[in-house]
Structure 1
Amino acid sequence: MGEPDRQCLRLQSPPDWHTFIWWLVLDDGANGWRDFLRASPNLNYNPSTADIDRDEAMRVIKAISKGLVYGLISLGGALGGVTLAGCTTTAPDPVNPRALAQSALADTHLGWKPAPANQLNYSLATSSGIARMEMRELPEDLQAVTIELPGMRNIEGVQWQAVSGDHALLFDGGEGADGVTVKRQHRGYTLQVQGAALDTIRRGGFLTVIDYYRN
């Protein structure tokens, strides 16, 4: 807001409180008070009581100013609290492994274990040597799926059938597709799918692990 012209202020009739305050600033207090009284048709200017009236008005203005300042500080604090609350972020919900996979054969037992963030860890066991699990559409931020295969003695192949009907061979018994790792453990194997292979299975389908020693 720009500073008003002094002469323009003097010509306003009746003056408002904003005008009065500017008069106090521009005319060093006392002269501004006299001008305010003279310009207001509802007030009578009495030189003998002008100083008293001015002092009383100044006390009122100071009290109002303190109230306004306190109110603005309180409002600023409240708004600041609202802003901080609006900027608060919450951690994303952890991936629920139970909702993303299930056994697809009667003799296939599917379990799950704790996994790092953005990963899944399953356990797949079978008595027939052929384990099959159904996987639903996986989250976009999922980075890896690890499947423990206890009891498997010699994995012959890992096959994938997408919900669209497409097939992919993820492991041929010797080498895995890009992003597929098969490691022999003390008991069984560990299959890990990530990278390009994870993108292959991300939309959901059926994963089948076939052991050479199957029934």
Structure 2
Amino acid sequence: MKRLRTLYTYMLAIVCMMVFTLAPSVQAAAKLEDGTYTINYVIKKADKDSVSMANDYFEKPAKLFVKNGEMKVHVQMNHSAWITEFKGPVGGGFADSKVVSEDKKADKRTVEFNVKDLSQPTPAQIHVTVTSVNYDHDYTIRFAFDEKSAKPVAGTKAVAGEGTKQPSAKAATTTGESKTPVENPETGDSTNVIVFSVLFVSSLIFLISSQKFRRTNKS
């Protein structure tokens, strides 16, 4: 009987460890309610987790709009004249993002693009032109949003750009930080399935081990 209790305790500990390990992933996959939020972000390089030089040219936080599971963000550039093109992810490629507002005197411009998953970096493409130093390059960058920083904005509508059509997808061609478009892997409710699968397998192992233990004691 003492050995059986020890086995029970051991299996329970394994199950608890698995649950606590996967719990943060389940929480991260939780969807925000419909509404408008502010959210912090960092711009990373296309193929590395290090911060891109472009990070300094975008204002924080961004505005996040959520409606019926769809998400859009507004990001503002503080060197609009240098960033001559901004393309957000559309379909399997990139397309020119909608300009929400522009202040040429302040050299600022706000664009809108879709985000599929806040837990994964969202790729975008920019074209940077600085005529004074003869600089002209294309870059693929990634917006890494901080889900925990999302704060609701009172008195604002849930969705931006209602009644507007999304631009058609264009083939991506990049140079500079990356020549290959960065895919945006999708995650979602599958995390819950993984958790329940682990619990089911653990329970099954527990039952089998218990039966083998009882048979051994009987013999």
The structure richer in strand per residue is: 2
Same fold? TM cut 0.5? no
Pair member with larger Rg: 1
TM-score band w.r.t. shorter chain: under 0.3
> Which has the higher relative contact order, 1 or 2, with Cα contacts under 8 A spaced 6 or more apart?
2
